Amino acid sequence: MSCISCKCSGKISEAILVTGGGGYVGSHTVVELLNANYCVVAIDNLSNCFSGEKHDKPESLKRVEKLTGKKIDFYYVDIRKKDDLDKVFKKHKISAVIHFAALKSVGESTQIPLEYYENNVGGSNTLFQVMQENGVKNLVYSSSATVYGLPQFLPLTENHPTGQGCTNPYGKTKYFVEEIGKDLCNAFPNIISSMGQYLNADVKGAYYRYQSYIPVG
Ligand SMILES: O=c1ccn([C@@H]2O[C@H](COP(=O)(O)OP(=O)(O)O[C@H]3O[C@H](CO)[C@@H](O)[C@H](O)[C@H]3O)[C@@H](O)[C@H]2O)c(=O)[nH]1
């Protein structure tokens, strides 16, 4: 069966939307999705990835296409722009969203906190609204170990409290979006939401653990 979303050769008939798909973890995730025969739609505002021509598909995703021999539908979309997001959801049959798009520098976030709240919290809220309006109930959110704040015990586990003593605005934005995700799951029990809290990332890949909130189908 070919994908009804983009007519690519993916075996699975619905597409996974990857936000921030041009970035480091996003583009590596796209490789894994394509290798698992998922059809991928990627969006990115190109604020932290290289694109040859203005608003063109990022270089990282062009390389992923070469590596995998598969096609990626890419849109230059900022998650704060509701209408632009909605067009992507209307054009493709999206079954799940993996949400990486975010500003991610701890130091910078202490200097320009409002940009961090607007992009990371405001943008995520807009994305979740569009998902809800288009009936998309599956979300994987790329959070951060910064949500644990100063560790109360080590090693960190999923049982460690979050949001207590977050040391910077970036970590707080990640914590606030986790809370939005929990509230959504409480309000709409058929939403499936996973929050990935990265402990470290290096060239071999990302090490992370997941907390699943209200895993009801
Ligand atoms: O409002 C925004 C902000 C950023 N981006 C894009 O999002 C991607 C983020 O990727 P990158 O900057 O390479 O960050 P990563 O190292 O991949 O960070 C990942 O891992 C972090 C935890 O370590 C998470 O906070 C991030 O959400 C997640 O993308 C980039 O392509 C940006 O252009 C957007 O599309 N919209």
Q: Would the pLDDT of 184 be above 50?
A: yes
Which pLDDT does position 13 carry in this prediction? 64
Which pLDDT does position 2 carry in this prediction? 45
Q: Are 99 and 166 in contact (CB under 8 A)?
A: no
Whole-number Å distance between alpha carbons of 23 and 41: 14
Which pLDDT does position 130 carry in this prediction? 97
Atom of ligand 1 nearest to the CA of 101: 7
Whole-number Å distance between alpha carbons of 83 and 101: 17
Q: Are 70 and 37 in contact (CB under 8 A)?
A: no
**Is the model more confident about 217 or about 189?**
189
The residues, ordered by sequence, that sit 6+ positions from 123 with a Cβ below 8 Å of its Cβ are: 78, 79, 80, 101, 102
Q: Residue 6 — pLDDT band, cuts 50, 70, 90?
A: low
The tokens of 198 are what?
């990265």
**Is the model more confident about 113 or about 194?**
113
Which pLDDT does position 210 carry in this prediction? 44
Which pLDDT does position 99 carry in this prediction? 97
Beta bridge partners of 98: 18, 140
Q: Would the pLDDT of 164 be above 80?
A: yes
Query: What distances in angstroms separate CA 38 from CA 15, 18, 65, 82, 94, one per listed residue?
Result: 7, 12, 13, 25, 11
Ligand 1 pocket member 45 (CB < 6 A)? yes
Model confidence pLDDT, tens digit, residues 9-60? 544 568 999 999 999 999 999 999 999 999 999 999 999 999 977 789 999 9
Which pLDDT does position 8 carry in this prediction? 53
Mutate to test the pocket of ligand 1, among 25, 63, 81 (most ligand atoms within 8 A of CB): 25
User: Kind and range of the H or E element at 193?
Assistant: strand 192-202
Q: Would the pLDDT of 213 be above 50?
A: no
Catalytic annotation, pick one of 170, 207, 208, 213: 170
Mutate to test the pocket of ligand 1, among 29, 41, 47 (most ligand atoms within 8 A of CB): 47
Q: Are 211 and 194 in contact (CB under 8 A)?
A: yes
The tokens of 210 are what?
């997941």
Catalytic site includes residue 24: no
Which pLDDT does position 211 carry in this prediction? 46
Question: Which of 163, 96, 85, 175 shows the shortest CA–CA distance to 130?
Answer: 85
Task: Classify the complex by whether its ipTM is higher than 0.90, answering yes or no.
Answer: yes
